[in-house]
Structure 1
Amino acid sequence: MNTLPVEPTHPGVPSNRLASPILPPGLTDEAIVGRWLKAKATGRGRLAATTLAQYRIEAERLFWYARQVSVPISGWTLDEFTAYIGFLQAPAPWAIRARGVRRGSPDWRPFLGPLSDRSAGQTQKIVTGLFEWLRDVGYLQLNPAVGLPTVGRREPEKQARFLSVDDCVLLRETIAARADHSQEARLRKARDLFLVDLFERTGIRTSEAVHCAMGHVRIEPVPEALRREFPGAPPFQWMLRIERGKGGKARWVPCDELALSLQAYRLAFGLPPVPAQDDTLPLLLSVRRSKWGQWKGVRSRTAVWHLMTGLCRESAAYARKRGRAADAKRLDQASTHWLRHTYAKGLAEGMKNGLDTRSALDNMGHADARTFNQYVDDEPLKRALATHLARARAAR
Structure 2
Amino acid sequence: MSALARIPPDAAVATIAPGQPALRPNRLESPILPPDLSDEQVVARWLAAKATGRGRLAATTLAQYRIEAERLFWYAGKVGVPISNWTLDEFSAYIGFLQAPAPWAVRRSGVRRGSPDWRPFLGPLSDRSAGQTQKIVTSLFDWLRDVGYLHLNPAAGLPTVGRREPEKQARFLSVDDCALLREAVRARDERSTEARLGKARDLFLVDLFEHTGVRTSEAVQCAMGHVRIEPVPDALRREFPGAPPFQWLLRIARGKGGKARWVPCDEIALSLQAYRLAFGLPPVPAPDETLPLVLSVRRTRWGQWKGVRSRTAIWELVTGLCREAGEHARASGRAADATRLEQASTHWLRHTYAKGLAEGMKHGLDARAALDNMGHADARTFNQYVDDEPLKRALATWTATARRMA
TM-score normalised by length of structure 1: 0.93
SS of the aligned residue for 1:231 comes to coil
Q: CA deviation at 1:105?
A: 4.4
Pick from 30, 41, 50: which aligns with 2:40?
30
Equivalent of 2:160, from 121, 126, 150? 150
Matching residue's letter, 1:179 = D
**What is the CA-CA distance between 1:102 and the residue it aligns to?**
4.5
Residues 25/266 of structure 1: CA separation in 2 closer, same or farther (3 Å cut): same
Aligned equivalents of 1:259, 1:322: Cα separation in 2 = 31
Q: Matched residues in 2 for 1:111 and 1:292: separation?
A: 51
Q: Distance in 2 between matches of 1:327 and 1:394?
A: 34
- CA shift, 1:332, in A, is 1.9
Task: Tell me what 1:208 maps to.
Answer: 218
Identify which range, 148-157 or 344-353, moves more after superposition: 148-157
Change (3 A) 1:312 1:146: same
> C-alpha deviations, 1:236-285, integer Å up to 9, x for none?
00000111011111111000001011111111111111100000111111
Residue number in structure 2 paired with 1:242: 252
Which consecutive residues of structure 2, in runs of 5 or more, have no partner in the other structure? Answer: 1-14
Moved more, 310-319 or 10-19: 10-19
The 3 A distance-change label for structure 1 pair 103 and 203 is farther
CA distance in 1, matches of 2:262, 2:401: 42
Q: 1:361 aligns with which of 346, 366, 371?
A: 371
Q: 1:392: how far off?
A: 0.8
| Cα distance change, pair 75–281 in 1 and its aligned pair in 2 (3 A) | same
Structure 2 CA distance for partners of 1:96 and 1:260, relative to 1, 3 Å: farther
Matched, 1:319 2:329: yes
1:210 alignment partner, SS class: helix
* Aligned partner of 1:191 among 193, 196, 201: 201
TM-score, normalisation: structure 2: 0.91
Q: CA separation of 1:386/1:33 partners in 2, compared to 1, >3 Å: closer, same or farther?
A: same
Structure 1 pair 387–259 and aligned structure 2 pair: CA distance change class (3 A):
same
Displacement of 1:356: 1.1
Q: What's the offset of the Cα at 1:113? A: 3.3
Task: Decide whether aligned partners of structure 1 residues 230 and 378 sit closer, same or farther in structure 2, where only a CA change above 3 A counts.
Answer: same
Task: Tell me, in whole angstroms, the C-alpha distance in 1 between the residues paired with 2:171 and 2:122.
Answer: 27
Q: Does 1:299 align with 2:304?
A: no
Once the two structures are superposed, the pairs formed by residues 84-95 of structure 1 within 5 Å of their partners are 84-95=94-105
Judged with a 3 Å threshold, the aligned counterparts in structure 2 of structure 1 residues 99 and 197 are, in CA distance, closer, same or farther, namely farther
Letter in 1 for 2:247: Q
Q: Tell me how far apart the structure 2 counterparts of residues 260 and 218 of structure 1 sit (CA, whole Å).
A: 14
Whether the 8 Å CA contact 1:48–1:248 is kept in 2: the answer is no
The answer to which of 25-34 and 355-364 deviates more is 25-34
CA RMSD after TM alignment: 1.7
In structure 2, the residue matched to 1:345 is 355
| Cα 1:91–1:328 shift into 2, 3 Å | farther
Q: Give the whole-Å Cα distance in 2 for the aligned partners of 1:99 and 1:294.
A: 49
Structure 2 counterpart of 1:342, one-letter code = T
Deviation digits for residues 46-101 of structure 1, max 9, x if unmatched? Answer: 22333222222222222222233332212221111111111222233443445555
Which of 275, 282, 291 is the matching residue for 1:281?
Answer: 291
